[in-house]
Structure 1
């Protein structure tokens, strides 16, 4: 039997989002930084993203990550994030999936009850604190790259919706954020169709009217993803949110 293109991956779930983590079958790529590796991978190996995220191996909600050797001496591992429409410099749920895979697969040594280590995302270094018990990761905390707001409560003219108040902020990628109450939404599961449509309309209009560029990396632009937020019924949370990005061409 002659087998080719064998890729080893783990499927996980974090914070309401499914994530796939490639641990084998994909070689390292050139780049002095993880961001450079991401750009090289996007240009030369995007077929891997499509194979992992499109049917029959993938589905619309899935994201995928590939673990690579880090370029920074403080990092235990590096990773590239592949989503349905883009290669984001940073993603919280994907970071949780990668950290969990590294520990539970034995690629990194697990220390109970707490394992601390550093990951290198394309956006920069991410400090990980993993709570572990009986060989399993039970909770992940991480310190993200510096986050900041670019626009607060700006007026965006959105087709079919009218004038919408929007915030534009960076947390590893640029978000267009709107309060769901403007559309009469509570972010419940039965509102999925409206959430998808409205979030994409708001994101696209904001990107056109308020384009943004990262002050330290001009290759990071946006906003590339939309987010709706609403009050949370969970006493441990201030807000609940729903993210969405969509692109017929990608």
Structure 2
């Protein structure tokens, strides 16, 4: 065997969404903060993401997290999230995978019945509380970075749909949240392909027509994900949704940042209050529990501090090699499997 690259990856999924974790073979990118490291990774080392997510080694249904030493003394570790078309500053399912891998592989000492630690993520410091028993993480609860409603009832012109309404909110990336029944959907597995096609149309239109920028991170701009929301069933009750991850597929989990964004919108509309809970269900029936911990502000904007609880499972371990003669060192994408386009960037 010959190889010029050897990358060690622990496989993991959170409520159905794959969030594999790189634990060896990739050196830390330059930067004083995790956000700066994320920017460096995207600018100078994107071949790692493409190698592991594109075929023949990966798939559009996969996210990969690069585990790093923290840039802060108060955090146990850091991580950079790599998705099929972007590097988001935060992701709930990926955070749950990272925390589970850290604990179940022994990189962070597990204490039963509860282990607490902090993660250094590009979008902010994330406080983690893990429920543990017999060497297993039974659940991960994390305090997310603040989420806020950017615009309510924004008009978007979408090809084939005309003018539709969307709530634009940040929960770790920007979401366009649309009413699923108003667009003819019930968010069921048999609708997955049609949801992906329509969701990508809405995302592209939202990115073109709405220039939204995070007030603290000028590199975080534009709608990344479209959330099809079923009607809110009230605090403490199960509400269904699906989030269309670019370039066009349903997130298999209920989406932690999507749950955070939805709670920010519900709070802005007076439908949720501090201390109340949203049980979010995905298109495959898996669930995250969201809670509004407190109200806050982000650069003068009203915001919430969300808490998300979910579960993850390690699926295996793999060493990825790159033979010097391999003609596809950064992989390839085809439209029959890569969502609705062959784009590898937003």
Note if 1:193 corresponds to 2:193.
yes
Contact 2:67 2:80 in 1 (8 A): yes
| 1:86-165 matched pairs, under 5 angstroms | 86-165=86-165
The Cα of 1:21 is off from its aligned counterpart by 0.5
**Over aligned residue pairs, what C-alpha RMSD do you find?**
1.8
TM-score if structure 2 supplies the norm length?
0.69
Contact 1:156 1:163 in 2 (8 A): yes
The Cα of 1:110 is off from its aligned counterpart by 0.4
The Cα of 1:57 is off from its aligned counterpart by 1.7
SS at match of 1:100: helix
Deviations 1:131-169 (A, max 9, x none): 111101110111000110101112211110112110110
Moved more, 29-38 or 220-229: 220-229
CA separation of 1:111 and 1:28: change in aligned 2, threshold 3 A: same
Contact 2:96 2:140 in 1 (8 A): yes
Unpaired segments ≥5 residues, structure 1: none
1: CA distance, partners of 2:32 / 2:13 = 31
2: CA distance, partners of 1:230 / 1:97 = 26
SS at match of 1:72: coil
The Cα of 1:56 is off from its aligned counterpart by 2.0
The Cα of 1:230 is off from its aligned counterpart by 1.2
Moved more, 236-245 or 90-99: 236-245
Equivalent residue number for residue 208 of structure 1? 208
SS at match of 1:139: strand
SS at match of 2:39: helix
Contact 1:231 1:238 in 2 (8 A): no
Note if 1:79 corresponds to 2:75.
no
Moved more, 112-121 or 51-60: 51-60
Moved more, 1-10 or 40-49: 1-10
Contact 1:164 1:182 in 2 (8 A): no
TM-score if structure 1 supplies the norm length?
0.95
The Cα of 1:2 is off from its aligned counterpart by 5.3
The Cα of 1:114 is off from its aligned counterpart by 0.7
2: CA distance, partners of 1:3 / 1:53 = 19
Note if 1:35 corresponds to 2:48.
no
Unpaired segments ≥5 residues, structure 2: 248-340
Deviations 1:5-33 (A, max 9, x none): 11111111113311110011111121011
2: CA distance, partners of 1:29 / 1:219 = 17
